[in-house]
Amino acid sequence: MSEIKIERNPDQERLQGLGVLNWPVWTKEVSEFPWSYDEQETCYFLEGDVVVTPDGGEPVKMGKGDLVTFPAGMSCTWQIGEDVKKHYQFG
């Protein structure tokens, strides 16, 4: 199984190259919930503080300023410690 990939504070050129600002926005309040990825998701955190723990894996901390790729087929638990706002794209 692939791992969660995180780019910390990517520069504006990288974000523009991906078209991040044109992606939809998802928001979620402080909470904890299970999640499964049917397809790869790439997202860029505008706000928030999150720990994502893949089933059978180690917790991964992420949040504001991080560009994150979640692999297809991964099941995990999201623990949101600070409200999240992120751009996202599937596929």
pLDDT tens string 30-46: 999 999 999 999 999 99
Question: Tell me, what CATH number does 49's domain have?
Answer: 2.60.120.10
When pLDDT is cut at 50, 70 and 90, the band that residue 2 belongs to is confident
pLDDT of residue 60: 97
Q: What is the 3-state secondary structure (H, E, C) of 48-63?
A: EEEEEEECCCCCEEEE
pLDDT of residue 5: 97
CA atoms within 13 A on the CB side of 72: 6
Q: What pLDDT score does 6 carry?
A: 98
Question: Average of pLDDT values for 75-83?
Answer: 98
> What's the domain count of the chain?
1
Domain that holds residue 85: 5-90
Which parts of 1-91 are beta strand (E)?
5-8, 25-28, 31-36, 41-54, 60-63, 66-70, 75-90
Q: What is the pTM of this model?
A: 0.95
- pLDDT(8) > 70: yes
